């Protein structure tokens, strides 16, 4: 009987297939010790301790053995084991789990399929026959510490892609191929945007074109914030330990901070967050309710220690900048300020063609600070804001708020359908009090402001990684490091090209001329490989008529058009931050 392919069933089937993988590996190789194998979004994995070093050449044999097991219609049967320690005597990782289950008073459960027994709480599908139409393939091998602890042995983890039918598997592989082509690390290297060096792990070098991209994005953010009443500040990079003790970072985040001891054994740290500096800036003088909301925007460099295995191109780095802000408000201003922040968030993401959804995280069950009544009131305000904006179309993540207040995370979806958590908006009822911050309210009483921590792009580095993959490095005109390339057909056309270049740069546009040795065709090819939005080509005809011909990035060729008309079009795309290139009606 066909099963309803809901999410729970799919995950149960994937978990059952993990047992099939484990059985296959045990039958193919000697001296295999089993870890465990959970389902994941695109399939499952299983961890093994074994003498044989797995290689890609082993994949076909593993897949064939799995197919054989599946065709055997093996039933998954829960098995009661009277003495599990004796039964799993040769399985050290299972014995560790059994010991923990006993200490916690939990039931010890195992499942069997045709003689293969694995420690498992289930549930499983009824039989491997339900997997006959599934599409699966061994994806890759990775090293993984047992239970994620670097003090434990390194195991071999086999990842398997698994989907309810072969068409879905094929579609997923096509998605992976497209994602691979868009990998920001590959494109960043090809286009000379950024690179990494072992002398500074997780700390990108921005090359000239990458720096243009970076600064253009940063200036766009600055302008958008300034227009909405934000005031930019710049705090010190190195701060005394006392600042971090007051904020609580020294106690809770010290291991992730880069620290240094200076004269007289004074400890300092490179800042991993901007918030303590914003508190100092607020507290430097008396504040009134008339000053609020007070929005301190800061893009200073931050430094955070990351495990070497956690770093991944621009997506996870050790030094970065944020479009960060700390907004000081009254309790009565929470709804209005959250709405204002979501307004600018919606605008910023729309410029990049990114769709977004909101997730509200509420008070943790334990470990939170402050009064429950304060939390409840704040959460109700946030729910009202989100209901009004999105007509109830938002997610609530119960109990996942920060210890100091509820938060809204905004997840964006790229062109491949992948979701990225970039923006976070966090209410904080505690930090201002730790720094003794107050303002004079309209009733003359001194009160503690509420602080909203928020970053919209999040890490600028990570956002560039996301949009590089989103656009496949075919950035909108206004964001492109080089917007216009100029190619003279012969040396006789160079002077006119230089005149055009001068006019473009005077208009604030980013252009270059290729005056190198080589043919016109090769120069055009170079600009095309660099994904330059427009290539101006100047020959005899263009010089005689005082016009230009252009090659658009999408392949469109437009001959003998007015330079002034083209310039007007470029300035329009630049100032209005248009998403698409104009390829006609110049």
Which residues are part of the catalytic machinery? 275, 304, 322, 324, 326, 407, 453
Between the CA of residue 240 and those of 266, 281, 325, 474, what are the distances in Å? 8, 16, 22, 44
Collapse the DSSP code of 247 into the 3-class scheme (helix H, G, I; strand E, B; otherwise coil) and give the result.
Answer: helix
- Burial of residue 72 (number of CB atoms within 10 Å: 0-12, 13-18, 19+): middle
Using H for helix, E for strand and C for coil, what is the string for 64-129?
Answer: HHHHHHHHCCCECEEECCCCHHHHCCCCHHHHHHHHHHHHHCCCCCEEEECCEEEECCCCCCCEHH
Q: Structure tokens of 525?
A: 């090819």
The 10 Å Cβ neighbour count of residue 151 is: 7
Which residues, listed in sequence order, are joined to residue 537 by a DSSP beta bridge?
487, 549
In this structure, what are the phi and psi dihedrals at residue 236, rounded to the nearest 5 degrees?
-60, 145
User: What is the chain's percent helix, strand, coil content, to nearest 5?
Assistant: 40, 25, 35
- CA nearest neighbour of 52 among 155, 172, 190, 138: 155
Cis peptide before 293 (omega within 30 of 0): yes
Q: How many residues does the chain have?
A: 586
Query: Of all helices (H) and strands (E), which one includes residue 158?
Result: strand 154-163
Q: Could you tell me the CA-to-CA distances from 230 to 213, 226, 348, 416, 564 in Å, in that order?
A: 23, 5, 15, 33, 36
Question: How many angstroms separate the CA atoms of 61 and 381, rounded?
Answer: 58
What phi, psi does 568 have (nearest 5°)? Answer: -60, -40
Q: Tell me how far apart the alpha carbons of residues 44 and 39 are, in angstroms, rounded to a whole number.
A: 4
Distance (Å, rounded) from C-alpha 101 to C-alpha 81?
14
Distance between CA atoms of 278 and 75, rounded to whole angstroms?
62
Report residue 533 as tokens: 């939005």
- Which of 297, 283, 327, 332 has the alpha carbon at shortest distance from 439? 283
How many other CB atoms are found less than 10 A from the CB of residue 270? 19
């Amino acid at each position: 009987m066909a099963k309803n392919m809901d999410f729970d069933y799919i995950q149960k089937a994937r978990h059952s297939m993990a047992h099939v993988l484990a059985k296959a590996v045990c039958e193919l190789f000697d001296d295999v010790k089993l870890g465990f194998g959970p389902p994941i979004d695109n399939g499952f994995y299983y961890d093994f301790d074994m003498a044989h070093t797995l290689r890609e050449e082993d994949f076909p044999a593993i897949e064939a053995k799995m197919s054989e097991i599946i065709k055997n219609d093996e039933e998954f049967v829960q098995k009661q084991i009277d003495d599990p320690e004796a039964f799993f005597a040769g399985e050290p990782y299972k014995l560790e789990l059994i010991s923990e289950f006993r200490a916690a008073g939990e039931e010890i459960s195992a499942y069997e399929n045709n003689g293969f027994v694995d420690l498992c709480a289930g549930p499983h599908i009824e039989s491997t026959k339900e997997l006959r139409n599934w599409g699966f393939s061994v994806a890759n091998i990775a090293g993984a510490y047992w239970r994620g602890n670097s003090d434990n042995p390194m195991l071999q983890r086999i990842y398997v892609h698994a989907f309810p039918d072969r068409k879905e598997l094929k579609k997923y592989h096509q998605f992976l191929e497209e994602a691979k082509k868009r990998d920001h690390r590959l494109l960043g290297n090809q286009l000379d945007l950024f690179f990494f060096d072992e002398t500074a792990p997780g700390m990108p070098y921005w090359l000239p074109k990458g720096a243009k991209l970076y600064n253009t994005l940063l200036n766009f953010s600055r302008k958008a914030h300034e227009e909405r009443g934000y005031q930019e500040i710049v705090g010190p990079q190195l701060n005394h330990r006392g600042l971090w003790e007051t904020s609580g970072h020294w106690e809770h985040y010290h291991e992730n901070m880069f620290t240094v001891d200076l004269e007289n054994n004074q400890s300092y740290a490179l800042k991993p967050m901007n918030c303590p500096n914003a508190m100092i800036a607020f507290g430097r003088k008396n504040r009134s309710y008339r000053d609020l909301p007070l929005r301190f925007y800061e893009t200073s460099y931050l430094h955070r220690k990351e495990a070497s295995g956690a770093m991944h191109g621009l997506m996870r780095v050790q030094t970065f900048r944020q479009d960060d802000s700390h907004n000081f408000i009254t309790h009565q201003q929470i709804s209005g300020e959250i709405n204002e922040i979501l307004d600018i968030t919606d605008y910023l993401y729309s410029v990049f063609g990114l769709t977004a959804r909101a997730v509200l995280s509420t008070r943790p069950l334990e470990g939170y600070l402050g009064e429950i009544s304060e939390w409840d009131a704040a959460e109700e305000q946030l729910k009202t804001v989100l209901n009004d904006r999105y007509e109830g179309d938002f997610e609530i993540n119960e109990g996942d708020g920060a210890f100091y207040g509820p938060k809204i995370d905004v997840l964006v979806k790229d062109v491949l359908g992948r979701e990225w958590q970039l923006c976070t908006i966090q209410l904080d009822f505690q930090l201002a009090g730790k720094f003794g911050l107050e303002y004079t309210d309209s009733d003359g009483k001194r009160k503690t402001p509420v602080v909203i921590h928020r970053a919209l792009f999040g890490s600028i580095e990570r956002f560039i990684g996301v949009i590089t993959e989103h656009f496949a490095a075919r950035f909108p005109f206004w964001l492109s490091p080089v917007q216009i390339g100029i190619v003279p057909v012969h040396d006789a056309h160079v002077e006119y090209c230089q005149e055009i270049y001068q006019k473009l740069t005077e208009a604030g546009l980013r252009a270059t001329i290729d005056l190198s040795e080589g043919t016109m065709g090769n120069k055009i090819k170079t600009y095309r490989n660099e994904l330059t939005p427009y290539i101006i080509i100047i020959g005899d005809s263009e010089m005689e008529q005082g016009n230009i011909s252009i090659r658009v990035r999408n392949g469109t060729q437009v001959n003998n058009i007015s330079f002034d008309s083209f310039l007007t079009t470029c300035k329009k795309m630049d100032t209005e931050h248009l998403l698409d290139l104009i390829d006609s009606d110049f």
